[in-house]
Structure 1
């Protein structure tokens, strides 16, 4: 097997995040599920945008956020996702390439427009996300370059994109290419509603040994295993996955690999500003350590540190020198 030229290549939604502060009362008034993520159509997107206060636009998308963190740490990354030929598509393309991430999928002509996620942030930092998936749901299997996928140590897949048929076929094709090349496949189911729709598919992938690294939070693990008790869920899932990572918000996270279990506490932070992207950046820190061959406990530490940087400001992309930020807090290791 040849040495890969990329550390991680990811497939996910190409989205622009539109973020605004709001009071708790607005969440209730709009009938939104506080702290959750809801898929919306174009009309709902216009209505919610009109209800927003002053907003900022930041390139997002779960897997793209993870890559942004990885690239900031020094990893070599590539992204596969679909934007439209419009202004937001140009913004997304510029931002991801400016972060040093390889992105070559051509924009799609015509409607629907580039995806956007309208994020309402309450005073406690909790985010309520409302996503119009637009062009991102039209990623064709033909957009995949199997030689590039085979040239990455890890293929990272975003569960959000499993919902529509076209990109789901592309992701299955990518898994086959990665497995054929002897590369690892990492996967996040992204949200419980995705699991509710596609649990059978995800269980089949796990049972068939197609997933090497699984990232989920405790609620997603409960949905996957259909076990409400945390330890029962871990005992159900861990024997089936080479590396299982479960985040628990303020309670930190655990990882199990090769029969070894490690855990990490959440990093202390002065104030939680916005939790958008916390899981994405946790995955970035963990994967960076993983592809560098670090110990399981150190991978968890890196994940927790990266997540703490993200929740200290608005948006899901690092705003500090992430490599220096992590190195300062892991001074016992060479990052």
Structure 2
């Protein structure tokens, strides 16, 4: 395993253990960065912009097409790197070569995402998502293809955990991800002076991954997962599912599209934030990943659960009013409700 010096980690950003990384309010001190490790996938999105969603067997001409870097962890990483004081490393599998990999890697690096820990595989191709983006509704429909292994525990086991303050997981492979979280939990117990939070996103209705909700400090569930578990609104989802599936001290968060998002914790109880709809709905692809990044950043910076969810909703709304997940803070003014969280003033 490469040393931190070999990976180019500046001396002032090495281990958190024993550091004065946060004051009593949880806010960062000095110039120390919030350091996130985002584990999940990076892929190529080929987006076809259509006037509406086509009928089956219809021949429709797209009005536009673009290539984007995609994937939940990848998108959240790029959003995170736009926020003051945050540095983000992506832990993902990548194909060793190919034009898709070159495109996605270049985009990630241009957005400031660190790729030191990514795992390369030969004789594979980067996963590709074929997206139909409807101008009529702003909806996105995705067909995903992958011929690339998921991360396994051996990929994670080589990571120097003392380098990070937050580790986030996509719930993809129950067996391997549970091993990763178990290692992090042991690390938390052995290094009580290190500030290290574990979060997991359970987005797909794969019931074998649901036990991961009981292993993390912060848990995101999708509307689809909540409905699969018999809940028809975000409030009942977070309030009722918290006691059934999460640790007592965990935070549970559920976004519900245009209805906003809800959260629950023992300390704050139930909280809700309305959505921040854009003037014109342009593109919802990556809105959930943007929301997640905002919540993680808010919580890591010491904000309350409500304030963090509000930041996530605000960023997601900004994202839905434009193509892609870039330049979300352009035009930020003091009148914006999240100004104090994303202006850098508290840092």
- TM-score under structure 2 length normalisation: 0.77
Q: Is 1:216 the counterpart of 2:214 in the alignment?
A: no
Q: In 1, Cα distance between the equivalents of 2:83 and 2:333?
A: 8
**Residue of structure 1 in register with 2:4 after alignment:** none
Which structure 2 residues correspond to residues 289-304 of structure 1 after superposition, within 5 A?
A: 289-304=298-313
Q: Structure 1, residues 110-158: CA drift from partner, whole Å, max 9, x if none?
A: 13x11111110112211001111222x3434333254434432221111
Change (3 A) 1:73 1:51: same
Q: In 1, Cα distance between the equivalents of 2:333 and 2:104?
A: 26
Q: In 2, Cα distance between the equivalents of 1:59 and 1:308?
A: 20
3-state SS of the aligned residue for 1:133?
strand
Q: Structure 1, residues 271-303: CA drift from partner, whole Å, max 9, x if none?
A: 111111111101111110100111222111210
**Residue of structure 2 in register with 1:57 after alignment:** 67
Q: In 2, Cα distance between the equivalents of 1:284 and 1:210?
A: 20
**Residue of structure 1 in register with 2:76 after alignment:** 66
**Residue of structure 2 in register with 1:250 after alignment:** 258
3-state SS of the aligned residue for 2:82?
helix
**Residue of structure 2 in register with 1:29 after alignment:** 56
Cα root mean square deviation, aligned: 2.7
Q: In 2, Cα distance between the equivalents of 1:25 and 1:303?
A: 28
Q: In 1, Cα distance between the equivalents of 2:78 and 2:61?
A: 30
**Residue of structure 2 in register with 1:262 after alignment:** 271
Q: In 1, Cα distance between the equivalents of 2:18 and 2:158?
A: 15
Change (3 A) 1:246 1:320: closer
Q: Is 1:234 the counterpart of 2:234 in the alignment?
A: no
Q: In 1, Cα distance between the equivalents of 2:53 and 2:256?
A: 27
**Residue of structure 1 in register with 2:286 after alignment:** 277
Where do 5+ consecutive residues of structure 2 fail to align? 1-16, 22-32, 189-195
Query: 1:302 touches 1:326 (CA, 8 Å); kept in 2?
Result: no
Q: Is 1:157 the counterpart of 2:169 in the alignment?
A: yes
Change (3 A) 1:236 1:130: same
Q: In 1, Cα distance between the equivalents of 2:176 and 2:320?
A: 32
Q: Is 1:176 the counterpart of 2:182 in the alignment?
A: yes
Aligned length: 298
2:44 is matched with which residue: 9, 13, 16? 16
Please identify the structure whose Cα radius of gyration is greater: 2
Query: 1:13 touches 1:133 (CA, 8 Å); kept in 2?
Result: no
Worse-matched range after superposition: 117-126 or 138-147: 138-147
Q: In 1, Cα distance between the equivalents of 2:200 and 2:185?
A: 14
Query: 1:222 touches 1:230 (CA, 8 Å); kept in 2?
Result: no
Where do 5+ consecutive residues of structure 1 fail to align? 32-47, 163-167
Query: 1:262 touches 1:297 (CA, 8 Å); kept in 2?
Result: yes
- TM-score under structure 1 length normalisation: 0.80
Q: In 1, Cα distance between the equivalents of 2:112 and 2:53?
A: 40
Cα offset for 1:205? Answer: 2.9
Cα offset for 1:256? Answer: 1.3
3-state SS of the aligned residue for 1:181?
helix
